[in-house]
Amino acid sequence: MEVKNIMSDRVVYCTTRDTIRCAVSKMYAYNIGAVLVVDDVGSPVGIFTERDLVKVVAEGISLDTPLEKLAPKELIKAYPNESVFMAAQKMIEHNIRHIPVVEGNRVVGILSIRDALRSLIALEGAYP
């Protein structure tokens, strides 16, 4: 099965100038675990996740801090025609739960570890 068959094409964005509060508000409003962070021209530069929020709270970082002030992470990417198995391996290798799906320089979706696991279990016939 390919990533394009199970990814969510609803990608929620924040810019590097938006605050942590903005990202958290969007995560809450859309009931999602990650927000893609893009630069001024819309290119993906990072991802803000639930794990990042835990770090923010633990370290006492203000929710009004711009996302650009957080330490940048390498943005691991998946591709639409890539197998779900390969994307899941990347997620395990990099200890991440969300991975943007890119085609060229454009983000076309996002894949969560839950989506990947659900599809792999379905291949075994154990999940509807």
Distance CA 5, CA 18 (A): 31
User: What tens-digit pLDDT sequence spans the chain (128 residues)?
Assistant: 899 999 999 999 999 999 999 999 999 999 999 999 999 988 899 999 999 999 999 999 999 999 999 867 789 999 999 999 999 999 999 999 999 999 988 899 999 998 888 887 877 765 55
**Count of domains forming the chain:** 1
CATH number of the domain to which 108 belongs: 3.10.580.10
Distance CA 33, CA 98 (A): 8
User: Which residues span the domain enclosing 97?
Assistant: 3-124
What was the pLDDT predicted at 6? 93
Strand 13-15 relative to strand 34-38, pairing: parallel
Residue 100: name the closest of 21, 24, 10 by CA. 10
Residue count (the chain): 128
Distance CA 28, CA 86 (A): 29
- Cα torsion 79, 80, 86, 91: sign: positive
What was the pLDDT predicted at 102? 95
